[in-house]
Amino acid sequence: MCAAISIDPVTGRKLFATRAAKSSERIAGKGYSIISDKTLTTLPPPPPGAVFNAGEQRRYREFKEARAGAADYMAMEGQFARYLEDVYSEPPVPRDSLTDECEILVIGAGFGALLLWYRLMQAGFTDVRFCEKGGDVGGTWYWNRYPGIACDVESYSYLPLLEEMGHIPSVKFASGFEILEYCQSMAERFGFYERCLFHTTVQATTWDEASGRWLVETDRGDAMRARFVVLANGILTTPRLARIKGMETFKGEAFHTSRWNYHIDLKDKRVGIIGTGATAVQVVPEIAKVVKELFVFQRTPSSIDVRDQRATTAEEYATWPNEPNWAVNRRERHALISAGRSALQANDDFLSGKIASFKQKKQHERQLSPKELVAAQLNTNFRIMEQIRARVDAIVKDPKTAAALKPYYPYGCKRPTFHDEYLPTFNLPHVHLVDCAPGGVKEINERGVVHNGVEYPLDVLIYATGFEWMGTGSFNMIRGRDGRTLREKWESEGTRTFLGMHSAGFPNLLIMNGPQGGGGQFNFTRVSEMHANYVVWALETVKARGARSVDVTPEAEAAYAQHCAEMDLLSAPLRDCISYYNGDGKAKPGSLAYYGGGERWHKRRMEAQETMAPYVFD
């Protein structure tokens, strides 16, 4: 047997040492800087009398309609498959293929898997194995290491298991590098590394009815068996490229932001970046500091809100360790904030429990109908967007550039972004916004990007074109009872799950953070916690019943799918733009994320766990 796999003398189980070494010391960076200039860290007030009237509504509609059908993405296949290569770690550690059995096999080694492992351990489940495509833990934070990377949910509420780890993040919005190191510390502390097969991509997961086991096959030649399979492999995991004529001819260097190539030195280079979503907003200010010239190719501007980064204070370092459950309580308070912007701004006094409420709740004279409520929310939302637009005018000096940087859609409709250096970057003489609205970049040649007949020669081209949303790559290779894959089932019947956690015909398969999975708001760590607790409950319930497997009834999932569609339609006016949240305007209602809010999901979960009606035990 190869050194990467050994046997634990106490349990007799296999232990793995497959964590890859780091590929280069150049991979290092930071997130948001702390900015002291108050004009950059406060939003201007909304212009007086700002109302979302018919004229403004028309403007939003036209902005959206002009972009309809422009989104065109492709997978990284064929000659673009090289963009998927792991640039962060040394080649895979050699090991033997495995053909043995474990009780629980988890796909993924990000936040979801780390949290789940901790909960499983607490509940006494130890025959657990993880398979991870990357060379180390971290998931999103393993793959995304671009300059400027930071979390957008305050790190005191976002990082899991802070009390258990005795850790306090160094800043309010931690850099991705700090988060990755934190993941590594969790994995070391909780014995995760010994259970994880790194550089191992699951290629097929097939249910065997006779043995009541999943057969899990990987690209390392493994053919393992497991009673339970848990998908914890993320919802924005598969990078995508914009499909652009001539992109294969480009002779310079090119990569996607989720495989940042630090071997390419950007210093003194002419660099282009396609895309202006949450990633690009963090990347642009950082690379502008080193490149010779930067061209930002934009189809749709993001809303750039205030970040107001700050360091953790001496008082916080001193007091939090003495407050039992400080981070859990903070995360719970964070989950109480229902409006997206407030949650993401994260009022410190409220979150630390110093004040009971940070906002005057608006009292309406009478109970509003759902339609009136949405109209009122859209009005408030419009005023926030007016502030965001006023901020652009206040910061960006060139009026043409400022005009192009102003978004016209409801706040939160596309992923809101935050930065106090992004807008000022466009005042630098070597940074150019290339407004490609409404169609986007349509042509690349061997020298660079061509737009409106103008050629932009580039040394390096960076694709900040995002990821497939809720399209976890594994759905197309999980075969259930009737031989269909999960993707085939969803393509023919529409997305069908119960709570986002089960899908009928796929017994003992549990999905974390997948389509239709709710239980939290804005903070995916809370969703992961809820899902990890649910997985443990399901495993314990199967055990307590002496059952072989758990599945759900088709009726339960049909009713749940209808609920998801209704919730999606109800909140649609607040998400009325073209965004990956709605499959670039093409997704069937209810087929992607759960839009019912945390509490509704929990109500359904609790009902199910009380009545047990949706479940089928074998």
Select the residue interacting with ligand NAP from 275, 410, 471, 519 (CB under 6 A). 275
- Pick the closer one to ligand NAP by CB: 160 or 277: 277
Residue 93 CA to residue 97 CA, distance in Å, equals 12
- Pick the closer one to ligand NAP by CB: 235 or 556: 235
Cβ atoms within 10 A of the Cβ of 400, count?
Answer: 10
Select the residue interacting with ligand NAP from 128, 280, 556, 608 (CB under 6 A). 280
Select the residue interacting with ligand NAP from 184, 261, 279, 525 (CB under 6 A). 279
Closest separation between CB of residue 310 and ligand NAP, Å? 16
Closest CA relative to residue 313, chosen from 347, 348, 357: 348
**Which of these segments, 53-61, 202-210, 297-305, 587-595, binds ligand NAP (CB under 6 A)?**
297-305
Closest separation between CB of residue 138 and ligand NAP, Å? 14
Task: List the x/- string, 27-66, binding to ligand NAP by CB under 6 A.
Answer: ----------------------------------------
Give me the half-sphere count of Cα atoms (radius 13 Å) on the Cβ side of residue 482: 7
- Pick the closer one to ligand NAP by CB: 280 or 335: 280
Ranges within 460-499 binding ligand NAP (CB under 6 A): 464-467
Residue 274 lies near ligand NAP (rule: CB under 6 A): yes
Select the residue interacting with ligand NAP from 89, 157, 300, 582 (CB under 6 A). 300
Closest separation between CB of residue 470 and ligand NAP, Å? 12
Select the residue interacting with ligand NAP from 119, 133, 195, 299 (CB under 6 A). 299
Q: Are 185 and 165 in contact (CB under 8 A)?
A: yes
Q: Are 418 and 424 in contact (CB under 8 A)?
A: no
Residue 276 lies near ligand NAP (rule: CB under 6 A): yes
Select the residue interacting with ligand NAP from 310, 383, 415, 563 (CB under 6 A). 415
Q: Are 522 and 588 in contact (CB under 8 A)?
A: no
Residue 277 lies near ligand NAP (rule: CB under 6 A): yes
Closest separation between CB of residue 150 and ligand NAP, Å? 6
Dihedral of CA 337/343/345/350: which sign? positive
Structure tokens at 364: 């309406």
Q: By 3-state DSSP, what share of the chain in percent is helix, strand and coil, each rounded to 5?
A: 35, 15, 45
Ranges within 418-437 binding ligand NAP (CB under 6 A): 436
Burial profile 356-367: b = 16 or more Cβ within 10 angstroms, e = fewer: eeeeeeeeeeee
Ranges within 221-240 binding ligand NAP (CB under 6 A): 236
Cβ atoms within 10 A of the Cβ of 326, count?
Answer: 19
How wide is the angle at C-alpha 37 spanned by C-alphas 34 and 38, nearest 5°? 105
Q: Are 127 and 105 in contact (CB under 8 A)?
A: no
DSSP string, 467-514: B-TT--GGGGGEE-TTS-BHHHHHHHH-S--BTTTB-TT-TTEEESS-
Closest separation between CB of residue 542 and ligand NAP, Å? 34
**Which of these segments, 118-126, 269-277, 420-428, 491-499, binds ligand NAP (CB under 6 A)?**
269-277
Length of the chain: 618
Residue 580 CA to residue 592 CA, distance in Å, equals 10
Closest separation between CB of residue 282 and ligand NAP, Å? 6
Residue 107 lies near ligand NAP (rule: CB under 6 A): no
Closest separation between CB of residue 156 and ligand NAP, Å? 15
Select the residue interacting with ligand NAP from 174, 433, 441, 478 (CB under 6 A). 441
Closest CA relative to residue 112, chosen from 155, 160, 152: 160
Task: List the x/- string, 564-583, binding to ligand NAP by CB under 6 A.
Answer: ----------------x---
Residue 242 lies near ligand NAP (rule: CB under 6 A): yes
> What are the φ and ψ backbone dihedral angles of 602, each rounded to 5 degrees?
-65, -35
Select the residue interacting with ligand NAP from 152, 459, 568, 576 (CB under 6 A). 152
Closest CA relative to residue 98, chosen from 55, 136, 131, 125: 131
CB neighbours of 482 closer than 8 A, spacing ≥ 6? 505
How wide is the angle at C-alpha 114 spanned by C-alphas 109 and 115, nearest 5°? 140
- Pick the closer one to ligand NAP by CB: 64 or 129: 64
Closest separation between CB of residue 441 and ligand NAP, Å? 4
- Pick the closer one to ligand NAP by CB: 40 or 274: 274
Select the residue interacting with ligand NAP from 40, 107, 114, 151 (CB under 6 A). 151
Closest separation between CB of residue 401 and ligand NAP, Å? 16
Burial (CB count within 10 angstroms: exposed 0-12, middle 13-18, buried 19+), residue 47: exposed
Amino acid identity of 10? Answer: V
**Which of these segments, 294-302, 324-332, 355-363, 509-517, binds ligand NAP (CB under 6 A)?**
294-302
Closest separation between CB of residue 396 and ligand NAP, Å? 18
CB neighbours of 383 closer than 8 A, spacing ≥ 6? 46, 50
Q: Are 11 and 347 in contact (CB under 8 A)?
A: no
Closest separation between CB of residue 153 and ligand NAP, Å? 7
Closest separation between CB of residue 597 and ligand NAP, Å? 18
Residue 149 CA to residue 181 CA, distance in Å, equals 14
**Which of these segments, 11-19, 43-51, 273-281, 484-492, binds ligand NAP (CB under 6 A)?**
273-281
**Which of these segments, 148-156, 205-213, 284-292, 357-365, binds ligand NAP (CB under 6 A)?**
148-156
Closest separation between CB of residue 525 and ligand NAP, Å? 11
CB neighbours of 397 closer than 8 A, spacing ≥ 6? 427
Site size for ligand NAP (CB under 6 A): 29
Beta strand pairing call for 202-208 and 443-444: unpaired
Residue 82 CA to residue 73 CA, distance in Å, equals 17
Closest separation between CB of residue 179 and ligand NAP, Å? 10
Instruction: Look up residue 454 and give its DSSP letter.
Output: E
Closest separation between CB of residue 257 and ligand NAP, Å? 6
What does the binding site for ligand NAP look like in residue numbers (CB under 6 A)?
Answer: 67, 71, 150-152, 236, 242, 244, 257, 274-280, 282, 297, 299-300, 415, 436, 440-441, 464-467, 580
